[in-house]
Amino acid sequence: MHKRAFIKVLSGTLAAAVLATGPVSAQDPTKVAFVYVGPVGDHGWTYRHDVGRKAVEAEFGDKVETTYVESVAEGADAERVIRNLASKGNDLVFTTSFGYMNPTAKVAKQFPDVKFEHATGYKQAANLATYSARFYEGRAVIGTIAGHMTKSGIIGYIGSFPIPEVVRGINAFTIAMRKVRPDAQVKVVWVNSWYDPGKEGDAAKALIDQGADIIAQHTDSPAPLQVAEQRGVYAFGQASDMRAFAPKAQLTAIVDEWNYYYVDRTRAVMEGTWQSQDVWLGLKEGMVEIAPYGDAVPEDVRAAADSVKQAIIDGSLHPFQGPIANQAGEVVVAEGETVSDKDLLGMNWYVEGVQGELPK
């Protein structure tokens, strides 16, 4: 009897000792995973997210372990990839495209202990945060430059999908452009893809043939800039500084800057302070940046662009400040008013100065 009791006590102690060694696992690296919609070599959207991933590695060294899966289709495949990442012991999973929203939400429900962050969506949960950048603020800056630099008064704009995010960018660009050059027009071509260098390049050619002397884009490859460089017109880089692809043509680029955010959120997980949130940050917080101006941009235009950027940062200018007219010329946002975040998030109409009909 005594012996048995002793064994019981002993085993109890052993169990306690095993439990006490639990914190050893705290020294295991924090595992952070990323799901990308394109290849890491797209030089645009996905590339910038991967730069953010590397920033996390650089910041925390061997205290983190990062993983990514690239070119994950937005559909049935996404849920499996996200679930596999969650089940393989990742502590924090970033899903970096709008189409991952429902799959991320589904998997988040099944893995309450894993933290999820979804870019550009609107569904949150206790372990699912959302984040996005106010890219439209950058669009207002490049729109200002376009207004100054265009001779033909026609700007070609390559759109991916007619979702509010993209429509908002087109509108912010057009409003800023027409403040400088009230008769300028924006022609939009939709390529129905985020990343398709062939189609993007063809769209740029078509737009230049229609008289556009500046190309703007909301797709992820540098193909349109390369076309612009060949044809001797100007263009804006998208998501990252694409100057290497078009040293003469690139006037500037809107640069997505995820580094700080990814580092901050990883640190929050390490320190146990992570909380679900919904953030939408812009030029002021440094999530959107403007690349160095190209040589073709003269001093006065640089000054004008800088002042728009500064005004957005200090809050004296909102890119969607009234009066704003719709395509029919009716003022829909009165002077002194600005479009609310909620309306910006669901924007599905064009402002005056955009040609063509919004696909619906």
Taking CB under 8 A as the rule, does residue 346 contact another protein? yes
Paired tokens of 209: 């043939």
Taking CB under 8 A as the rule, does residue 47 contact another protein? no
d(CA 90, CA 65): 9
Give helix then strand counts, H and E, for the chain: 11, 14
Q: Write out the E strands in 212-284.
A: 214-217, 234-239, 250-256, 278-281
Taking CB under 8 A as the rule, does residue 278 contact another protein? no
CB of 287 to another protein, least distance (A): 21
Q: Write out the E strands in 36-96.
A: 64-69, 92-95
Taking CB under 8 A as the rule, does residue 71 contact another protein? yes
Taking CB under 8 A as the criterion, the residue among 45, 47, 60, 68 binding another protein is 68
Please give the size of the binding site for another protein, defined by CB under 8 A: 37
- Annotate each residue in 171-210 with x if it binds another protein (CB under 8 A) or - if it does not, as one string: ---------------------x------------------
Taking CB under 8 A as the criterion, the residue among 111, 161, 260, 280 binding another protein is 161
Nearest CB to another protein, comparing residues 234 and 320: 320
Beta bridge partners of 125: 128
CA–chain centroid gap for 318, Å, is: 20
36 Rama class: left (phi>0) / alpha (psi -120 to 50) / beta = beta
Q: Which strands form 64-69's sheet, in the order they lie side by side?
A: 64-69, 30-35, 92-95, 115-119, 128-133, 278-281
Q: In residues, how long is the chain? A: 360
Taking CB under 8 A as the criterion, the residue among 47, 60, 98, 245 binding another protein is 98
Taking CB under 8 A as the rule, does residue 152 contact another protein? no
Cis before 323 (ω within 30): yes
Nearest CB to another protein, comparing residues 8 and 80: 80
Nearest CB to another protein, comparing residues 161 and 260: 161
Nearest CB to another protein, comparing residues 165 and 213: 165
Q: Which residues bind another protein (CB under 8 A)?
A: 33, 39-40, 67-77, 79-81, 83-85, 87-88, 98-99, 102, 122, 161-164, 192, 345-348, 359-360
